[in-house]
Structure formats: C-alpha cells, structure tokens
Chain A
Amino acid sequence: DIQMTQSPSLLSASVGDRVTLSCKASQNIYKYLNWYQQKLGEAPKLLIYYTNSLQTGIPSRFSGSGSGTDYTLTISSLQPEDVATYFCQQYNSWLTFGSGTKLEIK
C-alpha cells in the first residue's frame, strides 16, 4: 500500500501569509494526487486534482505542485475562511489519504 505523509500536522499562520502544505508518498505516484479541504462539521471539498488542476469554483489563491513522491499545496494569501484541515489523496494505486494538516489563523 502507498502511504501518504503530510506535514506539518498543525500550521498556524496570519491572514495574508503565503502558506505551504506538504504531502509525501511512500513511492512514486506519477502526479496522481488530489487535495481536499474539510471545514469543521462538513464534508471534504475537492480543491486540486492531478497535482495542479484547480477544481471549478475554487479560488485561484490555491495552487498545487509536485512530482514523484513530493507534493505541495500553496495558499498564496491566507484568508480567514481557509481555516480547515487539508488532506492529500493519491490514486496511482488504489486510493489513500494523508493524515491531514490542520490550518489555523494566528
């Protein structure tokens, strides 16, 4: 099974900051990587698919990058409504989620 490791587990940042979340796969996943945002008490929401494609309706401050085993979600200017837990998910071999990064406002 492919393991997905996210870091950090908790991130505190200020409004307007550029924020970077990391996701590392246990083997090459060939960019088959999605990112989800989950706000408290809600279902997850797809933000980014296939490493860097922005899902319809998602603000352009969200972007994704990466290749091989290392992937990144970037929020260019953190907004209060971005407080949430962010999960990566690989679909190169079956499907696996990372353990999540909880993002809060400092």
Chain B
Amino acid sequence: QIQLVQSGPELKKPGESVKISCKASGYTFTDYAMNWVKQAPGNGLKWMGWINTQTGKPTYADDFKQRFVFSLETSASTAYLQINNLNIEDTATYFCTRYYTGGFDYWGQGVMVTVSS
C-alpha cells in the first residue's frame, strides 16, 4: 500500500537548522510531485511548495523562498525539507504530501518541529 513515512519530532533552538525526511513506498516515486504543507499550532494549512521528483527542481511559495530547501534522494524514494536559521514562527507540524491531478491524495503523518530557546 502507498505510504509516506516522515521522520520524528524535532526540538531546535533559534538559529539552528533542521532536515525532515519523507520516505515514499508503494508507488513509483518519480511519477508524482511531492509537496510540503505547514500547519502551525491551532492553525490552518499553508502550502509551502513542491519538488519535481523527476528533475529535482523545487518551486517555493512566496512565504517560503528564503531559508527553506526541498531536496530528494531518488534512489531511496525520499524527499527532504530543510529549514535554515530557525525562528519561533517555524514551530509547526510539517507534512509531505503526494500531488495527483490537483489534489493531495496521500499524506505523511507529519513532523512536529518545535523552536525554543
């Protein structure tokens, strides 16, 4: 069955970096784009952008063009989200999600990133 399994929760200090993984299984990884979605505590969903799993080209939404990096390890069917120079406002749950004809049909379980001094 199709699964997106993300790495575990992270506790970081302001100014540090974090790298989250998302391992896909049950389908051909390069057939579908991978997207990232942010959900701050008690808040709604915010689309961060996507990465073309065939070419590795990332596309970032406007609010995520600085400090955020999408990458791939195609041989391991894994996508990564790195956030540099963390600040308090980055405290959130980050989801990877597979994009299919306009909708996100499979989601990872989410990774809680807490930024605190």
- A: residues with CB less than 8 A from B are 1, 32, 34, 36, 38, 43-46, 49-50, 55, 87, 89, 91, 94-100
Contacts of A96 in B (CB 8 A): 47
Among B71-79, B80-88, B103-111, the stretch that binds chain A is B103-111
Q: Do A99 and B103 touch across chains, with their CB atoms under 8 A apart?
A: no
Contacts of B102 in A (CB 8 A): 32, 34, 49-50, 91
Contacts of B62 in A (CB 8 A): 1
The interface size bin for chain B is: 10 to 19
- Known contacts A43-B108, A43-B110, A94-B61; decide if A49 and B103 are in contact (CB<8 Å): yes
Q: Do A97 and B105 touch across chains, with their CB atoms under 8 A apart?
A: no
A95, B95: Cα distance in complex, Å: 15
Query: Shortest CB–CB separation between residue B78 and chain A, in angstroms?
Result: 18
